[in-house]
Amino acid sequence: MKWLKKVSEDKIMFSESVKDNNSMNFQVSIFNNPDNIFPKFTSLTQYFLISYKKQLETSTTDILIHINIPNNDVFALIIQEVALHFKSIELIQEDEKVTEIMLSQPLESSLKHCSEIEINPIINDVFMREGNYKQLHPYQVKSKMLYQVDFSFIDSYENIEFDTIYECLCAISSGKEDILIYPKNWLVNDELKNSLAIRYFSNHRKTKGLYLMVDTETNLVLYVHIKF
């Protein structure tokens, strides 16, 4: 597979973010929607709901989503298009500024609506591929191999709707220049280079590097690591 190159895990050392933890007034509070914001259902909503649902399928406990909040614009976007589709919404504040949102228990009505509408092709490719493979958490896998995608072998694919999601994922990356995505039923073979997600990220102007962490025993992709 010429489009994949084995590389050292040093290649994906996380970019360091600088955070001042001195004299932080830290508190956690419940968000009760005091301004009666009306939830919007968008492709960003799809991404978080389907990602949550797929992770829950392989988890024995409930899952908590942590979303970094760098500014007020991102806060407003996440509240309206993501958070209000969950029952439990908790805000982490530092010096009275919201820096993180924690979500759990998606609304049944939102999940139902998600199952009734057309799913963005990239979201479908990442989380809804057919297959019944047993996927382990990366920490449970004993033998792993990291591959770097060679962009020169990948055909281009554009998706304007997903651009909004990519921009948001970059914004909430905790000050780092890395995104991790956990795909479902991705087997490493030559057909995988035709994945719409791989084609999209490989040819997007923001993407500087694309890596696949693979379980060498099953040949399943454990996660996709995007450098931007």
Summarize pLDDT for 178-211 with one digit per residue, the tens: 999 999 999 999 999 999 999 999 999 999 999 9
Window from 6-15, 86-95, 144-153 with minimum mean pLDDT: 6-15
Contact 83, 66 (CB under 8 A): no
Instruction: For 166-177, write each residue's pLDDT tens digit.
Output: 999 999 997 778
Q: Are 80 and 40 in contact (CB under 8 A)?
A: yes
The Cα–Cα gap between 62 and 40 comes to 24
Residue 19: the pLDDT is 53
For residue 142, pLDDT beyond 50:
yes
Mean pLDDT calculated for residue range 113-137: 92
Please tell me the predicted confidence (pLDDT) of residue 23: 46
DSSP string, 61-116: S---EEEE--SHHHHHHHHHHTGGGEEEEEEEEETTEEEEEEEEEE-HHHHHHHHH
Question: Mean pLDDT over all residues of the chain?
Answer: 92
C-beta separation of 148 from 211 below 8 A: yes
Residues 184 and 187: their CA atoms lie apart, in Å, by 9
Q: Are the C-beta atoms of 214 and 145 separated by less than 8 Å?
A: yes
Global confidence as pTM: 0.91
Tokens matching residue 191: 């057909």
The one-character DSSP state at 131 is: -
In the three-class reduction of DSSP (H, G, I as helix; E, B as strand; rest coil), residue 18 is classed as: coil
- Rounded alpha-carbon distances, angstroms, from residue 146 to 15, 151, 183, 219, 223: 17, 16, 15, 11, 10
Per DSSP, the three-state class of 126 is helix
Percentage with pLDDT > 70 across the chain = 95
